[in-house]
Amino acid sequence: MAEKTRKRKAEHIEISLSQNVQARQKTTGFEEADFVHRVLPEIDRSKIDLSTTVFGHKFSAPLIVGALTGGTPEAAKINSTVAEAVERLGLGMGVGSQRVAIEDKRLEDTFAVVRKKAPSAFVLANLGAIQFANGYGPREARKALEMIEADAIAIHLNALQEAVQPEGQTNFVGILSAIGDVARELEKPVIAKETGAGMSAEEARRLEEAGVKGIDVSGAGGTSWAAVEYYRARKPVESPQRRLGDVFWDWGIPTAASLVEVCRTVHIPVIASGGIRDGAAIAKSISLGASLTSLSQPILKAAVKGVKETCDALSLLIEELRNAMFLVGAGNVQALRASPVVIMGKTAEWLKARGFSVEEYARRGRK
């Protein structure tokens, strides 16, 4: 089983780097959210404070590198590179699912290298929710945390990927109860994380009631795991498995819509991810209610090149965020959260249909 999991992880890296697995027709919705430009920002750009504290940890900017990989030699290099970069920049990172290392202890170092390279950065462990519905419990969650001396653990929800994956597990019965058991037993925060299909208000509320301490919406519009599994199938295009990947390539709730739904519903930190590709999208995420933002695919592409390239990619995002904050007159993250933003188009239509008002975002700051 561990060998099959390791092989699958290697294929995920190869496909993510070599194929276009981004959403085809669906977008994140961030292009339909516009800030109200401030012609009189009345702040000094060089003195903008991007720092924020979430989950008891101080970040130099509201940005983490999302779950990438682990379990293979190539994965160990990627994790090491990203860890060194986030340590230098005062950010945070998650690792890929640690199931493979729980199945085979020899692979633990491909994950443990993260804490060695990032002794003070925020580090997020990771296991799949489907494992907790099929035998895993607090014991395995603690192993994952201890393996990388993590600050919190993400339990990822990937029903779409499992449904399309040739060897996917699709018995999700009892999954919420299992997540609740882990959340109650662990001393460190449990974060419920989608994987590219978005999360609704109703599901987020149920997860908060079950005891999770954070939500990562991971909406649609960025990397599609149905697309990744489409390429993994390596069968004729007309085969049932590849057809599933093709039909459900763009499945999910767009990131911006999911973010608003969840932030307006729960009372715990929310992480915005899913197709975030620049600092403007990071700024919009914070204004729409996120406590942190996360991205993976662009950093994966940088990480295979080296630490400098990874630092450069992350630093550029931070500078783009700083520029957006300057242009809306936000001297810190708290002020950015209160900056007016106008939501239009399909995103506004979606939210109104779901019972969420968008007008209040545009009215912020009026006297």
- pLDDT of residue 1 exceeding 60: no
Structural domain count, the chain = 1
The stretch 28-39 carries a mean pLDDT of 98
Q: What is the CATH number of the domain that holds 100?
A: 3.20.20.70
What is the chain's mean pLDDT, rounded? 95
- pLDDT of residue 6 exceeding 80: no
Q: Residue 89 sits in which domain range?
A: 2-363
Identify whether the C-beta of residue 28 lies closer than 8 Å to the C-beta of residue 222. Answer: yes
- Return the pLDDT at 310: 98
- Return the pLDDT at 260: 98
The stretch 25-39 carries a mean pLDDT of 97
pLDDT tens-place string over residues 210-249 = 999 999 999 999 999 999 999 988 766 667 889 999 999 9
**C-alpha to C-alpha distance for 100 and 15, rounded to whole angstroms:** 19
The stretch 301-315 carries a mean pLDDT of 97
- pLDDT of residue 2 exceeding 90: no
